[in-house]
């Protein structure tokens, strides 16, 4: 792993024109990592292009430099190196995947469990809390300085993907890096305010409507919530606003598996699944519906069916696992 | 300050029978600090009595040793030293205050801003995230070992009072200590699960009912929620279940001041106030109603009046501050 890191450092140091990409529907870790690495590479004299297929949502536009991320593919012949950050597989690059992967060397830095190898040079470590934590180490290995903005982006990445130091991948090393970034001038309360105190009234109203749909099954071990098109319309909230809602049924003491059924645009039904601990693998359940993800967080999409139909099919698979027929 | 710490270390080392007290309605910081210090003092051969006026609620009974905290005052002639942890003033000791303060030397360790001096020996530092952080340093200064249980209690104290590293008092030192405690075997996800994934269905239903009462005033800068006796009865939830509810109106982007009106037992109305940043001092507002607290978190109680009356009186004070008549 360290060997790969050394190779990546040398490659980046030798490159002149670098494309840095993050995944579709980018979150705080993807964007924080991308913006931090971008600024550092520029400080080292590189020409940097920051690419992401999807625009930065209002949840993350507080990140310094976020307006610099471009959603249109540039002329890819201009680059002598590309970096994909926080992408568990090549599909996470979006529709421009094939074009992007034509850039060589193509560097991949990721922390997802079950990462599917792609690219030319890989540094993948699923024991890390976040890609941000890895980018911090990469920057250290390059011997570059960390500006206050870079520290802010990396800290946001770490907080974002560790659920503010709550998830299992939070390590002593995560805390050591967070401490270093605070020494560089990051104010933890400021980042937390931006990430967690960013509710709009519409979003809180939508949360309220969604929580009212809570159904418990299998001796309260299974919790199901849903959001419908009417709820989105009534509250004037957006899809991105539902991002953390599944944490509420998940936070119930008795719950082992939580399901969030979402009526998305164009008749699509999006389903998020969460489980606690090692007992239940929701990636396997999502796999039954052509979806995927991690053991504790997975999802799938369906079209041409109703929320009720998806729920019935899903309960038929999940209930037996939880000891109910 | 360090001088006080040295004096406290010497005093504790010289004492044989020590009473360790925390504050009324104890939270994670009070209990985690108390249990950690208790276990360490016992490991040093002291006789330790853990006292708290209020019983440990179901929210914190996962803390190892929590069943050892006694709510009845013992024979106070037995002690040659007492320690009060996390008490911003002597009233926080509860009704046994005068009896407890008859123990000498009486040591006070606290991190509350606006702490009112009491006791014989004080170590007060409002720049600390938590009393747990200070107890960690005290234990280090005593040269004692930190067992896995002690590390768990201290980590819980820090996470609890820093809102999982989100509040302004979270420092590089906070992260350094958290990292040390993780090195001792604490699993961050386990503590977070106990502290944050402990919702009962009743509690989630109550949250839902309370969120439905949200009212915004003063160009959405003021948010008000309420809980009534009927809601408690309908959902079968308890007073302790409402502990974090004020964070929801507070999390609204536009909100500067959040108010939570609670219909408590015996016709009592309890009011919690929160503000963001340095602009609005809710302790001053609470003071107008004979309450108190910190600049960003305060409260007061009233009896013999209705929720609506309290709300009207409060809005008449708050609205002008937010630029509305």
Domain boundaries, chain A: 2-196, 201-321
The pLDDT of residue A1: 56
The pLDDT of residue B302: 94
pLDDT per residue as tens digits for the range B159-216 = 999 999 998 889 999 999 999 999 999 999 999 999 988 788 999 999 999 999 999 9
- Residue A54, token pair as written in the block: 């999807």
**Helix/strand/coil percent split, chain A, to 5:** 40, 20, 40
Specify which residues B258 forms β-bridges with: B223, B274
Going by pLDDT thresholds of 50, 70 and 90, the confidence category of residue A244 is: confident
Nearest CA distance, B262 vs chain A (angstrom):
19
What is the CATH T-level fold of the domain B2-196, as seen in this structure?
A: inorganic pyrophosphatase (n-terminal core) (3.90.1640)
Taking CA atoms, what residue in B is nearest to A164?
A: B164
Q: In chain A, pLDDT over 70 holds for what percent of residues?
A: 98
User: Taking the CA of residue B310 as centre, how many other CA atoms within 13 Å lie in the half-sphere pointing to its CB?
Assistant: 28
**Chain B contact for A202, CB < 8 A?**
no
- Asked if residues B166 and B129 have their Cβ atoms less than 8 Å apart, the reply is no
Would the CB atoms of A170 and B182 count as touching at under 8 Å?
yes
Going by pLDDT thresholds of 50, 70 and 90, the confidence category of residue B2 is: low
Mean pLDDT across B78-89:
95
The pLDDT of residue B266: 83
- In terms of CATH architecture, what is A201-321? Roll (3.10)
Would the CB atoms of A179 and B183 count as touching at under 8 Å?
no
**Chain B contact for A220, CB < 8 A?**
yes
Distance of CA B188 to the CA centre of its chain: 20
For the cut 90, the answer to whether the pLDDT of residue B271 exceeds it is: yes
- Alpha helix positions (H), chain A: 2-14, 28-43, 97-100, 131-141, 148-161, 172-183, 188-196, 201-211, 229-235, 247-250, 282-287, 307-321
Of B198, B207, B251, the CB nearest to A211: B207
For A:276-305, CB contacts with B below 8 A are 276
Please choose, from the candidates A140, A135, A131, A151, the residue with its C-alpha nearest in 3D space to the C-alpha of residue A26.
A131
Buried/exposed code over A222-244 (b: 16+ C-beta within 10 A; e: otherwise): bbbbbbeeebbeebebbeebbee
For B:138-197, CB contacts with A below 8 A are 159, 163-168, 170-176, 178-180, 182-183, 187-189, 192-193, 196-197
Q: CA dist A103 to A42, A74, A108, B41, Å?
A: 19, 12, 12, 62
The pLDDT of residue A293: 78
Mean pLDDT across A276-301:
88
Q: Sign of torsion, CA B192 A61 A258 A231?
A: positive
pTM: 0.89
**Chain B contact for A324, CB < 8 A?**
no
Q: In chain B, pLDDT over 70 holds for what percent of residues?
A: 98
Of B197, B205, B253, the CB nearest to A251: B197
Question: What mean pLDDT, rounded, does chain B reach?
Answer: 94
Question: What mean pLDDT, rounded, does chain A reach?
Answer: 94
Going by pLDDT thresholds of 50, 70 and 90, the confidence category of residue B295 is: confident
Beta strands B121-124; B81-85: pairing state: unpaired
As a whole number of angstroms, the longest Cα–Cα distance in chain A is: 63
Cβ neighbours of A151 (radius 10 Å)? 19
The pLDDT of residue A3: 64
Going by pLDDT thresholds of 50, 70 and 90, the confidence category of residue B1 is: low
For the cut 70, the answer to whether the pLDDT of residue B3 exceeds it is: no
Mean pLDDT across B86-102:
95
């Amino acid at each position: 792993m360290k060997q790969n890191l050394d190779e990546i450092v040398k490659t980046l140091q030798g490159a002149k024109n670098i494309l840095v990409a993050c995944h579709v529907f980018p979150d705080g870790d993807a964007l924080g990592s991308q913006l931090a690495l971008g600024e550092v590479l520029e400080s080292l004299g590189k020409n940097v292009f920051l690419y992401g297929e999807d625009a930065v949502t209002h949840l993350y536009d507080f990140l310094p430099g976020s307006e610099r991320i471009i959603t249109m593919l540039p002329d890819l012949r201009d680059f002598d190196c590309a970096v994909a950050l926080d992408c568990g597989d090549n599909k996470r690059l979006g529709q421009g995947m094939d074009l992007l992967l034509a850039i060589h060397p193509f560097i991949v830095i990721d922390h997802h469990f079950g990462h599917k190898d792609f690219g030319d040079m890989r540094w993948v470590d699923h024991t890390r809390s976040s890609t941000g934590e890895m980018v911090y180490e990469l920057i250290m290995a390059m011997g570059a300085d960390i500006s206050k903005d870079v520290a802010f982006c990396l800290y946001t990445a770490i907080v974002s993907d560790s659920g503010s130091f709550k998830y299992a991948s939070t390590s002593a090393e995560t805390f050591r890096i967070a401490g270093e970034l605070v020494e560089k001038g990051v104010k933890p309360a400021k980042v937390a305010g931006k990430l967690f105190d960013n509710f709009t009234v519409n979003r809180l109203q939508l949360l309220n409507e969604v929580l009212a749909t809570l159904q418990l099954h299998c001796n309260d071990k299974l919790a199901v919530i849903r959001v419908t098109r009417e709820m989105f319309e009534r509250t004037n909230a957006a899809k991105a606003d539902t991002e953390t809602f599944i944490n509420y049924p998940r936070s119930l003491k008795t719950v082992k598996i939580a399901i969030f059924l979402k009526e998305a645009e164009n008749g699509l039904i999006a389903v998020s699944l969460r489980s606690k601990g090692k007992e239940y693998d929701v990636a396997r359940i999502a796999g039954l519906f052509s979806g995927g993800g991690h053991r504790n967080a997975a999802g799938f999409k369906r079209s041409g069916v109703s929320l009720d139909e998806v729920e019935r099919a899903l309960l038929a698979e999940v209930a037996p696992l939880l000891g109910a027929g």
